[in-house]
Structure 1
Amino acid sequence: MGLLEKCEQLFNTSNLYEVLGVSKDASDAEVRRGYYKLSLLVHPDRAPGDQQATSKFQILGKVYAVLSDKEQRAVYDEQGVVDEESVTLSQDRDWEEHWRRLFPKITMKDILDFEKKYKNSDEELQDLKRLYLLHEGDMDQIMDSALCCEHDDEPRVRDILQRAIDSKDIPAYKAFTNENAKKKANRKRKAKKEQQEAEEARKELGMDAEDSLVAMIQQRQKSKEKGFNSLISDLEAKYCKKPSAGKRASKK
């Protein structure tokens, strides 16, 4: 299975830019931040033993490798294909070691500090409005995609969006304004199940309170939408050193 097919399987899109949550005209820095943010959420250290997370981490490394190489990115932009035989996409590459060369380790405290800063900010408002428009008011998809949100945040999220509707900032989609009770109940049941799974994992692994919080964040971030760059911008500015110029991959 090629890279594009694997992207479709793991990220529900074969578009490399959509995988990283950036536009086609994104700068190199924006591509790098998109890669960093997503790879941070599925890094093996964050979800030990999660094979799907490990697979996503490896695929994200390959996506970034293609889009960070000027020649390969140009071919992809023009033809919509990637060179599966290139050294860059070699199956023997240690993607975790490559990631650690590019980025430092970010602590869970940094993530939690960001959550406190992000919630109820103007940036969150803009992100929620964008998600609302993207998913045409479908709260299932909005809640699955919104950064730093769990089920308990739903009333707050709904209130934010309703105020935006009332002020004519966004249209009143029926999927949002007339959502039926059954759909809301299913969403609540799904969230409760995820919380129970996180608690069971905590007990099984003997996690302390902080580790438990990490597990819950991991659980709810597995399906998060890919467009939020501010977390990485903030953390990267604080911690990340510019990577040394690497050798450009040559094609076989």
Structure 2
Amino acid sequence: MGLLERCQELFHTSNLYEVLGISPAAAEADIRRSYYKVSLKVHPDRAPEDPQATEKFQVLGKLYAVLNDKEQRAVYDEQGVVDEESDVLSQDRCWEDHWRLLFPKITVKDILEFEQKYRGSDEEREDLIRLYVQHKGDMDTIAAWALCFSQEDEPRLCAIIQAAIESGEVESFPAFTQESNKKKRARRKRADRERQEAEEMQKEMGLGNEDDSLAMMLKQRQQSREKGFDSFLSDLEAKYSKKSEKPQRGKKGKK
């Protein structure tokens, strides 16, 4: 059974882009990120209750290999077919090992280094503006989804957004410009409570160094903001992922 048929059987669509939840115009980085997020959901270690998890994971690996190869992707986009005999698909590959090469595990040291480079960068500003527009100025949601966000960052990030509004770069949303002091205080109280809970958890486990403290903060955040934390790690793993080896050229035109 070919790749497209397997996609139909396991994911109920033979469209490779639909399996990843992206459009055919998606950039390489978006394909990579979507592949990571979808494959993570069906990873055999994370979905042991799914009897088809291993098969789905392997099919996703092959799907990504096709879309990550410029020639294979071009053939698929033009003809809607996949060359099953190409080197991309025919070579004997352990898709679990390949996946881990693409997305190495993130350590606390990686997070600390990333935070140091990320804060105040152009990338942070671009991400922040995107979140502001996407969530129409709702700072509660922006705070939950922003990478490396802490309550101490809020005045600085709000200033960046305000400057973008005043320059005409983005629309002025009432949720941001007219946010009540009550809502701001509630957000700070939540942040203080999360910090206190993390510190208590740290003491209970007898941890004391900076790495342990950060680990507890992240664990506590995972419990209280599951979606935001998953997005945080997903984006970090995508940013830290090693570039895959130069794809081998496959054969064109075979059905």
TM (norm. structure 1) is 0.59
**In structure 2, what is the equivalent of residue 219 of structure 1?**
220
Give the aligned partner of residue 197 of structure 1: 197
Residues 176 and 185 of structure 1: is their aligned pair in 2 closer, same or farther, counting only changes over 3 Å? Answer: same
| Residue of structure 2 in register with 1:69 after alignment | 63
Distance 2:96 2:183 in 1: 39
Could you list the runs of 5+ residues in structure 1 that have no partner in the other structure?
Answer: 5-14, 43-53, 74-94, 246-252
Post-superposition CA distance 1:7-50 (Å, at most 9, x none) = xxxxxxxx9756xxx6564356643345548999x9xxxxxxxx
2:147 alignment counterpart = 147
Residues 135-178 of structure 1: CA distance to partner in whole angstroms, max 9, x if unpaired? 11110111111111021211111111011111111111111011
Query: What residue in structure 1 maps to residue 166 of structure 2?
Result: 166
| Matched residue count | 198
> In 2, Cα distance between the equivalents of 1:62 and 1:138?
36
- In structure 2, distance between residues paired with 1:146 and 1:231: 12
Q: Which residue of 1 aligns with 2:78?
A: none
Contact 1:147 1:228 in 2 (8 A): no
Matches within 5 A, 1:1-252: 17=20, 25-27=25-27, 30-36=30-36, 66=60, 69=63, 100=100, 103-209=103-209, 210-220=211-221, 222-224=226-228, 226=231, 231-232=236-237, 234-237=239-242, 242=245
Query: When the two structures are superposed, what TM-score results if normalisation uses the length of structure 2?
Result: 0.59
Shift of 1:102: 5.0
- Cα-Cα RMSD: 4.6
Q: Structure 2: how far apart are the matches of 1:99 and 1:194?
A: 33
Q: What percentage of aligned pairs have identical amino acids?
A: 44
Change in 2 beyond 3 A, CA 1:110/1:182: same
- SS of aligned partner of 1:149: coil
Highest CA radius of gyration, 1 or 2?
A: 2
Task: Determine the C-alpha separation between the residues in 2 that align with 1:17 and 1:189.
Answer: 38
Change (3 A) 1:155 1:99: same
1:38–1:226 contact (8 Å) kept in structure 2: no
Tell me, what secondary structure is at the counterpart of 1:223? helix
* Contact persistence 1:102–1:243 (CA under 8 A): no
CA 1:112–1:36: 2 relative to 1, 3 Å: farther
Task: Give 1:204 shift.
Answer: 2.2
